Amino acid sequence: VSDIPFPMPVGAVRIGQDEEGSFVVNPDEEWMLESPLDLVVSGSEDAILMVEAGANEISEAEILDALDIAHGEIQKICAAQRELAEKAGKAKTEVEVPQVDESVHSQLTDQFSSKLSEATQVTDKLERQDATKGVETEAIEALAGDSEAADYKDKRAAAQMAFDKLEKDTIRRRIAVDKKRPDGRAADEIRDIWIEVGVAPRTHGSAVFTRGQTQAFTVAALGTTRDEMRLDTLGLETSKRYWHHYNFPPFSVGEAGFMRGPKRRDIGHGALAARALVPVVPDPEEFPYSIRVVSDILESNGSSSMASVCGSSLALMDAGVQIKRPVAGIAMGLIKEGDDYIVLSDIAGVEDHLGDMDFKVAGTEKGITALQMDIKITGVTFDILRDALTQANDGRNHILGKMAEAIDGPRPELSRHAPSIGQIEIDTEKIGMIIGKGGETIRALSEEFDAQIDVNDDGIVRVFAVDGIQGDALIERIRSMTKEVEVGDEFTGKVVKTTTFGAFVELSKGNDGLLHISNVKPGERVDTVEDVLNRGDEIEVRVVEVDKERGRVGLRLAADPDIAGKSAEELAGVGTGDKGGGGDRGGRRDGGGARRERR
């Protein structure tokens, strides 16, 4: 409705998918959290302009159906905009668009077209850039004339504009008409791929993915659930357990520059790569780790974001993350001249720069997990989209085959450098025993085993240790602390108190048992317990009696001949030697029987 010379109305919609596979237009945000498809499409009345999607391995046919529905809704939005413009719109401001001087362009073509054609056919990227720059410098100096002249700046600007048009037309015509790409490949040909995994020995997982002159070095790091990223946004999600950082340093394209915080492009490519991998990352119940992946682009000649997707998949498998299937990505391009067009697989930098479309597709052998499409022309038809998706599927499967040659699946075990995470389920009534008074017990366990301990209200205890040995030992300690003591169990316990009638032995934190004085030295009678045992002594004992009503646990020495080789049923008849059940010989510790649990 403004006077800005905007050429046409543009609309946008979001498409989701329900459990039955039906598409939903502009669904609620809460509902989208469970949707297998999150597709955002913008376009005009005639064509689609932009696509951004995340999907749970959706087929190409389903994507096309969703795009068709989206475009139908977009047309309704555009019609409403036109109706509003007719009622309240203003006349558009006339803007004079700078035009190429045809005489300069003709002169440039006559003198330098053959040199430019030869320079733009050099296969190597840097050599091609140098050769083209040489022709550009020579041409502009020739056409700009005397640098001291008053009209030098105008002539130079006109020559520069004419040269840019000649370069673009030369490359586009060669691709669209002669079917010859700058590096000599066929339209559907993928550049040579070289892969190496496990290149960084101290990391949890690493990989180098090289495609042509684009190379990504990716590292995967595993952390505990406490390391997940906290989100403070307007969205419903408050945390993220998988994220991807993409770095594009200036040296990757032969330039020098500041390396400060991430740029808009870096953030966008990282988000796209994360979206591509999230559908195959195991659920937190199966894999209770936070995952951070970092891709550093060491060299770039197009498709670096898709190289980071491939590198991420490889690094995760190298780390032993049991992803459902490997994910590969490919960037598709388009050159459209009139009604003729050609779809290009695995576009290089110059094809992206001078082409009409950048269409990134990532997915597994089963289906698509992420899409991103940007259009530089007025739009693309469904025939073009269908051809691009079909060609992308072929290219993706080719890349997946190359990745399988390097590593055919996740390693069976996590890296030995990754934190060890284990869990045990305990009786909810025993949670207090693990935590202790004021958190004393859980802090002591954490310090002893150099680990983190998370206790859920449902009795799930997760252990995060620096290595598997410490983690297993801590889980075993928690198991012994919370285990119900049974007749026949053996313990290495510590004497915590001596009395006139026996010694109290700590079996585990919160569990004590009584070793009667008559059993402290099998076969001999002693006057006092202290003649044999003192507080702090460690002894091997075996449980011979459990009286739950009285809260009593009776013990015998494990080496006692009277109980050697006896089963739990036989031990029940052996007894502890305490016949009184009370008084000065059968009394409890601190005035009662041996306590089974201490809170």
**For 11-88, which CATH superfamily applies?**
GHMP Kinase, N-terminal domain (3.30.230.70)
Query: Residue 73, Cβ neighbours under 10 Å: how many?
Result: 18
| Beta-strand relationship, 205-211 and 214-223 | antiparallel
Do 11-88 and 102-176 come out as alike in CATH topology? no
User: What's the confidence (pLDDT) of residue 213?
Assistant: 92
Model pTM?
0.77
CATH code, residues 102-176: 1.10.10
Distance (Å, rounded) from C-alpha 465 to C-alpha 422? 8
> Helix 152-176 and helix 102-119: axis angle, to 10°?
50
Domain residue extents for the chain = 11-88, 102-176, 193-406, 420-482, 490-591
User: What's the confidence (pLDDT) of residue 525?
Assistant: 84
- Residues forming beta bridges with residue 541, ordered by sequence position: 491, 557
Could you tell me the fold of the domain covering 193-406? Answer: Ribosomal Protein S5; domain 2 (3.30.230)
Q: Are 12 and 25 in contact (CB under 8 A)?
A: no
**For 420-482, which CATH superfamily applies?**
K Homology domain, type 1 (3.30.1370.10)
3-state DSSP assignment of residue 378: coil
User: What's the confidence (pLDDT) of residue 436?
Assistant: 85
Q: What is the pLDDT along the chain (599 residues), one digit of tens a residue?
A: 899 988 889 999 999 999 888 999 999 988 888 899 999 999 999 889 999 999 999 999 999 999 999 999 999 999 999 999 999 989 889 888 889 999 999 999 999 999 999 999 888 888 998 999 999 999 999 988 888 888 889 999 999 999 999 999 999 888 888 888 888 899 999 999 999 999 998 899 999 999 999 999 999 999 887 788 888 888 888 888 999 999 999 999 888 988 888 899 999 999 999 999 999 999 988 888 899 999 999 999 989 999 999 999 999 999 999 999 999 999 999 998 777 789 999 999 889 988 999 999 999 999 999 999 988 887 678 888 999 999 999 999 999 999 999 999 999 998 888 888 888 998 888 888 888 888 888 999 999 888 888 898 888 998 888 877 888 889 988 887 887 778 888 888 899 999 999 999 988 766 788 998 888 888 888 889 898 999 999 999 888 888 877 778 888 888 888 888 888 777 777 766 654 443 333 333 443 444 444 33
For residue 120, give the DSSP letter. T
Cα distance from N-terminal residue to C-terminal residue, the chain: 73
Nearest residue to 44 (alpha-carbon basis) of 83, 87, 77: 77
Query: What tokens were used for 317?
Result: 């498998």
**For 490-591, which CATH superfamily applies?**
Nucleic acid-binding proteins (2.40.50.140)
* Rg, Å, the chain Cα set: 36
Q: Are 444 and 435 in contact (CB under 8 A)?
A: no
User: What's the confidence (pLDDT) of residue 429?
Assistant: 83
